[in-house]
Structure 1
């Protein structure tokens, strides 16, 4: 095949959330954009995050329908994974068509294939050489696997495979109890599958406050998840149609399926980075500055593949999108900054966890005698209407004299309802006292945030 040449203002490698956001913004600013993509459009943001949240919603609906004392007797709740797989595939196709429409309307050139650097100003893909004054690497990440483990995608799965399950099974062992592990443990338990969750740490979600970890562990256990702490996996193998998980303490767990959820590694190994002078860091990540520039200034890296030197550089779709736009703004010399202190997040476990800003632990380390209030879901009228009493909203503000909101954590059904408001207030330095006289709809879940503020101000008793 003869090679051809193409020039553009910006060449983007990877059409996940970060690459897509960068491409759309760059095109809106008049840049000629070429988007090179070796996988599905929107990457894991669609084929992983969307599908897993689709599974979550279906599982949550089943869990709610099975609750006793709701005035009706549920029936016909057998789980048909083939139908679930078909529904998720249909949704993925629909969203892909919407995305293709965006690209067409914005006149973004899409090249299907894996891009590889030839030199700092040229990439090659399918025999074509693409040259540009600026490049953006947005190749994302892939699941990390245990050394020596053969993942077949059916009995032994990663997060890339588990969203495409199309047949039922009875038991699942989840190796790794981070966010992904906790989410899928919740989902499959709600589908009626027996789940064992293995955590190498001594508490779940150890990056969060101990009270949240203890609360989630209690609910997981009550829901039927068998949580094992300090559990290090030695090997995983298929034996007689079952999956055998051998732990370092010599104990053995037999299950129908195993999900390995031990983190992700950056997809940078096929880019031929030595041709650019960029040297990747640990787990393949590319170190970048606050403008998303690599050590080669005209080459940027965003999303999971790029790593800023901040503990708040989280692997989240909305952060990846913000980084993509930030990089393009820097190329165009448009002033912009990515403020990380308010970043909202959602953990799609059951119950849901959502937050913005600092944990109570970090807030005390940084600011000392901070003020903290919890408003229990059991005191909220809307939660009572839902007959959903587990959880709370925790509001963390500065020490006396400093009324800034430092962090918020919400646990419970639809906990994400309070986080958008919280993140905006944190980002703009709006004091918690603003909540005292603001008017929230009733009955709503956001009233819990307001009532937590009233507890701090002394206008409401902490407990009943």
Structure 2
């Protein structure tokens, strides 16, 4: 008697960043036959050259700042000079050691992720991949004998190829003086004068970090203020902190070109001004890695910028092809990429799935202090796109903030007019990335300000400012 066994669903994932990694794990968890194709290492650029090393560098910068500001808390560092009198030591940063450490952390994280996939039963193929229609991926692998090709058949394909730094023809990175954010980690010493072109999230984060590490920093911003598009109050706080710490911020300025000199760089602005520095970081956005991977031939629609169009379950214009992460036209956040990867596979395999609601996504800018946001923005409320009330509580009124010597920051809540439902918020504070979670939970679960206010927070704590702000927005029934 012949038995017919149902074949496992075959899932091929192109790209091993946060989106591809989570898609592969989800597929293995649901019993699919999963193959992951990755050219540079599991974790992709997010782990190897972007998020993990950059946030590790920022953590070092935070530690440097903490030492520098310890005197405000009554902690003083002294050594004995030759005469026996106390001498205040300088804070020195060994950038070569810092970069060695953070790149080691990135490699370890990549190896840990790879091991997790192997334990889950995912087949990992190393090489350059491209779609072969809508049902297969062709992988080219360079070997001593030449190039080998491997064909991965699939019922479902998840494209998670990420993005790379945008390069301007007038400021081509050389990896030594003119740099993208992926090339900073080869530096052996702290730049004496770092010019940062671009005041978006990446530019602001690195400008903040290198100022703390001891560089003179000039930030070239084409807009009225740094962090255009972010909460105006938050951007104002950060720009004031930048200037107070000695950073030169050139607002309403645009770099026309950056060229290397014998011992540094020269940035020329469109108005003719020139800025000389030792190094230049180009932080002018990113480009999706979608060209030449067979998307057009497979019928997958992309935007004019090359990003893959996806719906709320990460599905593309081709029913069995999904896309996750920075290569898609969704928010370029690692957390969103991970959610897209899981959602794509759950949807493809018929599991229960909640379509992604970008309005509920919390995000963070790792400047010092950090800026965390979730939900509707104040600008949208003021423009009438959302109906809400706004309450802002300065962090300096918080007792824990006073104890820690925190001078800058605030908690801002947005609540639906009438019902008091929390629809968004902004936190500017050290570790705002941790403090935003209660607000993200409130937005996701549609809690009211009264419900948030009834939660007990530790006294004293920075999180107490969240319940204080919610209490101030009490809805009288």
Fold shared by both chains (TM-score > 0.5)? yes
Instruction: Using the TM superposition, give the Cα deviation of residue 367 of structure 1 relative to its aligned residue in structure 2, in angstroms.
Output: 5.7
Q: Which of 267, 270, 274 is residue 248 of structure 1 equivalent to?
A: 270
Instruction: Using the TM superposition, give the Cα deviation of residue 151 of structure 1 relative to its aligned residue in structure 2, in angstroms.
Output: 1.1
Is 2:424 the partner of 1:421? no
Is 2:205 the partner of 1:183? yes
Q: Which of 220, 225, 228 is residue 250 of structure 2 equivalent to?
A: 228
2:322 alignment partner in structure 1: 300
- For structure 1, the residue ranges without an aligned partner over 5 or more in a row are 1-6, 308-312, 460-464
More displaced 10-residue stretch of structure 1: 134-143 or 205-214: 205-214
Is 2:405 the partner of 1:387? yes
Please give the alpha-carbon distance, in whole angstroms, between the structure 1 residues aligned to 2:443 and 2:22: 24
Q: Which of 267, 288, 293 is residue 266 of structure 1 equivalent to?
A: 288
1:101 alignment partner in structure 2: 115
Deviations 1:291-336 (A, max 9, x none): 22222211111111111xxxxx321100000000111111012232
Please give the alpha-carbon distance, in whole angstroms, between the structure 1 residues aligned to 2:358 and 2:300: 26
- Is the alpha carbon distance of 1:187 and 1:146 closer, same or farther for their aligned partners in structure 2, counting shifts above 3 Å? same
2:24 alignment partner in structure 1: 23
* Secondary structure, aligned partner of 1:283: coil
Instruction: Using the TM superposition, give the Cα deviation of residue 429 of structure 1 relative to its aligned residue in structure 2, in angstroms.
Output: 0.6
1:55 alignment partner in structure 2: 57
Instruction: Within 5 Å, give how 1:74-93 maps onto structure 2.
Output: 74=77, 75=89, 77-93=91-107
Please give the alpha-carbon distance, in whole angstroms, between the structure 2 residues aligned to 1:166 and 1:31: 46
1:370 alignment partner in structure 2: 388
Deviations 1:137-186 (A, max 9, x none): 00000011112432111211111112443323201010000000000000
* Secondary structure, aligned partner of 1:439: coil
Are the counterparts in 2 of residues 344 and 357 from structure 1 also a CA contact under 8 Å?
Answer: yes
2:14 alignment partner in structure 1: 13
Q: Which of 384, 387, 409 is residue 426 of structure 2 equivalent to?
A: 409
Please give the alpha-carbon distance, in whole angstroms, between the structure 2 residues aligned to 1:368 and 1:292: 26
Please give the alpha-carbon distance, in whole angstroms, between the structure 2 residues aligned to 1:456 and 1:196: 41
- For structure 2, the residue ranges without an aligned partner over 5 or more in a row are 1-7, 78-88, 141-148
Please give the alpha-carbon distance, in whole angstroms, between the structure 2 residues aligned to 1:322 and 1:49: 17
1:431 alignment partner in structure 2: 448
More displaced 10-residue stretch of structure 1: 427-436 or 282-291: 282-291
Please give the alpha-carbon distance, in whole angstroms, between the structure 2 residues aligned to 1:343 and 1:140: 19
Is 2:74 the partner of 1:71? yes
2:85 alignment partner in structure 1: none
Is 2:304 the partner of 1:282? yes
Deviations 1:229-267 (A, max 9, x none): 111111111112211101100000110100000111100
Is 2:366 the partner of 1:348? yes
Instruction: Using the TM superposition, give the Cα deviation of residue 31 of structure 1 relative to its aligned residue in structure 2, in angstroms.
Output: 0.5
Please give the alpha-carbon distance, in whole angstroms, between the structure 2 residues aligned to 1:335 and 1:247: 53
Are the counterparts in 1 of residues 15 and 162 from structure 2 also a CA contact under 8 Å?
Answer: yes
Instruction: Using the TM superposition, give the Cα deviation of residue 64 of structure 1 relative to its aligned residue in structure 2, in angstroms.
Output: 1.3
Are the counterparts in 1 of residues 372 and 433 from structure 2 also a CA contact under 8 Å?
Answer: yes
Are the counterparts in 1 of residues 237 and 408 from structure 2 also a CA contact under 8 Å?
Answer: no
* Secondary structure, aligned partner of 2:73: coil
Deviations 1:97-144 (A, max 9, x none): 211220111010000001122322122113111111111100000011
More displaced 10-residue stretch of structure 1: 242-251 or 406-415: 406-415
Q: Which of 151, 160, 165 is residue 182 of structure 2 equivalent to?
A: 160
Are the counterparts in 1 of residues 201 and 227 from structure 2 also a CA contact under 8 Å?
Answer: yes
Instruction: Using the TM superposition, give the Cα deviation of residue 346 of structure 1 relative to its aligned residue in structure 2, in angstroms.
Output: 1.1
More displaced 10-residue stretch of structure 1: 424-433 or 141-150: 141-150
More displaced 10-residue stretch of structure 1: 255-264 or 286-295: 286-295
When normalised by structure 1's length, the TM-score is 0.93
Are the counterparts in 2 of residues 11 and 135 from structure 1 also a CA contact under 8 Å?
Answer: yes
More displaced 10-residue stretch of structure 1: 361-370 or 439-448: 361-370
1:357 alignment partner in structure 2: 375
Please give the alpha-carbon distance, in whole angstroms, between the structure 2 residues aligned to 1:368 and 1:90: 45
1:446 alignment partner in structure 2: 463
2:146 alignment partner in structure 1: none
Deviations 1:429-463 (A, max 9, x none): 1111112222111211110001111222299xxxx
Please give the alpha-carbon distance, in whole angstroms, between the structure 2 residues aligned to 1:64 and 1:225: 18
- Is the alpha carbon distance of 1:417 and 1:290 closer, same or farther for their aligned partners in structure 2, counting shifts above 3 Å? closer
* Secondary structure, aligned partner of 1:160: coil
